[in-house]
Amino acid sequence: MLTFQLIHAIVLLAAIFLIDKCHAYPAIAQRHEARPMCESCGDQCDQCEFGVTTSTLCGVSECRKGPGQICGGPSESWGVCGDGLICSCNRCTGCSVDNLTCFANTCLPHQSLETRSYLTDIFGRIAK
C-alpha cells in the first residue's frame, strides 16, 4: 500500500513539474502569437484618428486605439490607447482628447480578456 501511494505521489509531482515547465517560457509564445498582430500604419500614419505609437513588440509605428476598442494584452500587443484614454479590462475607457468621443467601461478587473483566457485554459486542462 505504501508503494502504491509513493508511486501516485511521484506521478502527481511529475505532472505538476511538467505543467509548470510548459508555462515557464511565455515570452516565446507571446512573440509567436503577436507577430500577425503587428500592423504598421506605414505611409498612412497621418490618418490615424487617435494618434501614433511605436509597438513595443515589433518596433513599428501603429495607430493608437480609440474609445471602446480592444487594448492591452501581453506587452500591449493588442494596442495602446490614445490621449485621454486608459486601458481598463482590455478596452480603451474614458474620453478621447482628439475627437471628444467617450466610452464608459463597467467591467470588473477580473473580467479582462487576458484573465478569462488564462483561467479558461487552466480549467480546460483540469477538466480533461
Helix (H) or strand (E) holding 10, with range, is: helix 2-22
C-alpha grid cell for residue 128? 480533461
- Asked if the structure places residue 52 within a domain, the reply is yes
- Asked if the structure places residue 61 within a domain, the reply is yes
- Asked if the structure places residue 39 within a domain, the reply is no
Q: How many domains does the chain have?
A: 1
Whether residue 43 has pLDDT greater than 80: yes
- Asked if the structure places residue 90 within a domain, the reply is yes
- CA dist 63 and 68 (Å) reads 15
- Asked if the structure places residue 53 within a domain, the reply is yes
- CA dist 105 and 67 (Å) reads 9
Its sign, for the CA torsion 89, 114, 13, 2, is positive
By percentage, how much of the chain surpasses pLDDT 70? 64
Whether residue 69 has pLDDT greater than 80: yes
- Asked if the structure places residue 89 within a domain, the reply is yes
Cβ–Cβ < 8 Å for 45, 63: yes
pTM: 0.56
Cβ–Cβ < 8 Å for 65, 79: yes
| CATH value at residue 87 | 4.10.40.20
Q: Give how far the C-alpha of residue 14 lies from the chain's centroid of Cα atoms, to the nearest Å.
A: 29
- Asked if the structure places residue 63 within a domain, the reply is yes
Lowest mean pLDDT among 45-54, 63-72, 101-110: 101-110
> Structural domain of residue 71, as residue ranges?
45-103
C-alpha grid cell for residue 91? 478596452
Lowest mean pLDDT among 38-42, 50-54, 104-108, 115-119: 115-119
- Asked if the structure places residue 14 within a domain, the reply is no
Strand blocks (E) in 77-121? 85-88, 91-95, 102-103
pLDDT band at 29 (very low <50, low <70, confident <90, very high): very low
